[in-house]
Structure 1
Amino acid sequence: MPGYLVQQGATVICAHGGQAQPTVPNPRVKLGGQPTVLQTSPYTIAGCSNPPPNANVGPCTTANWTSGSMRIKSMGQPVILQDSPSVCVPTGTPLTVAVAQLRVKGI
């Protein structure tokens, strides 16, 4: 499905409200002056409210994208779209791209 490309400054959250940031943004392609994010770039998550063990599995700490754009690549890797699927560790829940740039769409 087509979706907007995700840049470093996009608002990305886990299912429990934690803020996610890319660990390795892609400096080769910029959107609105900010680097794009490649599928291979893991995200770190801060502020996840999921309860610790004994009550649940613990807060989300990192996340990985399972797929990205089928047609747009940078440095040989797919870029992330607003609707790209992801998985948080250790909860297995997805990330949500709440706010991204609204000028460049991809498939």
Structure 2
Amino acid sequence: MSGNLLHVNATVTCPHGARATVLPAQARVVVSGNFAASVADQYTVTGCPFTVVNKPQPCVTIRWVAPSTRIRINGSPAVLRSSTGLCQSPEQVPQGPPNVSVVQQRAVGR
């Protein structure tokens, strides 16, 4: 499935509304003035309010499970707006898919 390439300043949130930040793994490929995002980047979620039976289970990371099948950035698959990901708790429990709401509009990939 095709989609716009994500960059490190794209707006990505967990299913509970907390914002994700990206620590880029590469500093060579630029899209709309920002480093392009790949699965090698570290995605950190902060401020997730999710709680299960009085036990906090916040989303803390995002793991992309279905990134681009054709585009590689320094050997790692690129992340597209249409890519499938999972937000995970500190115990690596899947919490749901991340929401991508703002992304650059020029570069499209598969």
* TM-score normalised over the length of structure 1: 0.89
Q: How many residues align?
A: 106
Q: Which runs of 5+ in 1 are unaligned?
A: none
Task: Name the structure 2 match of 1:3.
Answer: 3
**CA deviation digits over 1:51-104, x for unaligned, max 9?**
2x5335511111111121111111111110001111111251111111000011
What is the match of residue 86 of structure 2?
87
Which runs of 5 or more residues in structure 2 are unaligned? none
Aligned residue type for 1:11:
T
Shift of 1:26: 2.8
Asked if residue 69 in structure 1 is aligned to residue 68 in structure 2, the reply is yes
1:9–1:34 contact (8 Å) kept in structure 2: yes
What's the secondary structure of 2:16's corresponding residue? coil
Q: Distance in 2 between matches of 1:55 and 1:48?
A: 14
Map 1:1-107 to 2 at 5 A.
1-51=1-51, 53-55=52-54, 58-90=57-89, 91-92=93-94, 93-107=96-110
TM-score under structure 2 length normalisation: 0.87
* Partner AA of 2:99 in structure 1: T
CA RMSD of aligned residues (A): 1.6
